[in-house]
Copies of this chain bind each other. A is one copy, B any other.
Amino acid sequence: MDTSALATSYSAELPAWLRDELADVPEFLETDEDRMALVHRLADRNFREKTGGPFAALVVETETGRIVSAGVNLVLASNLSAAHAEVVALSLAQTRVGTWDLGAEGAPARELVVNWRPCAQCYGATLWSGVKRAVIAGDGPELEELTHFDEGPVRDDWQAQLEQRGLQIELNVLRDEAIEVFRAYGESIATGDSLVYNARGTAENG
């Protein structure tokens, strides 16, 4: 076959606004609430900037609160359906530290901070990344109801399964504030300002 038409690499890049947004943030975020408040701020701005859905995530050093990476959902910006906030944050953290294993021996323990229970894909991605802890704003039907995103088939015992594999789960951190962001996004869909991109029926540009 003629292999010249094949894509041989893929990439995703943070939008410029995110770096600007982080410039004002302290390098260390002490509490779970401090960390989650930043996640909510990024999630809210992400959909308003039209770079993706209302989702954001951080990788943070658990002990010190040092921000290792910040990610937002980049599906629309990157054309990659896998570029959910969790995958973006985990991939950027791995790129920065130079290993696929964020739980590598001798490294500071790291955690994922994210504004809802991971979807059917990011659930596994979190597990394979090596983070030792996940701080999650909430779970339950509100996300799907307010945003119309499908979270996919996740096991009912999702939390126990992660805990059995050594992840500590901190659930319900600034949960109401997460819902506020989803509600604002839902309103922006209703007025036609945002796109729910797991509906199929888009056109291709190439």
Contacts and interface: CB of A to CB of B under 8 A. Distances in A.
A88 B25 CA distance: 33
Interface string A92-103: 111111111111
- Copies in the assembly, this chain: 2
A1 B25 contact: yes
Contacts of A19: 3, 6, 8
A80 B7 CA distance: 18
Interface residues of A, number: 78
Contacts of A104: 200-204
Interface string A9-33: 1111110000100110111000000
Interface in A57-94: 67, 69-70, 75-76, 78-83, 87-88, 90-94
A172 interface: no
20 contacts: A1-B67, A3-B23, A6-B70, A6-B92, A10-B12, A10-B91, A78-B100, A81-B101, A82-B82, A82-B90, A82-B91, A99-B204, A99-B206, A100-B197, A121-B127, A123-B124, A124-B152, A128-B198, A153-B155, A153-B162
Interface of A: 1-3, 5-14, 19, 22-23, 25-27, 67, 69-70, 75-76, 78-83, 87-88, 90-107, 119-125, 127-130, 152-155, 157-158, 161-162, 197-198, 200-206
4 pairs of A and B residues whose beta carbons are closest in the complex: A121-B124, A120-B124, A98-B206, A11-B11
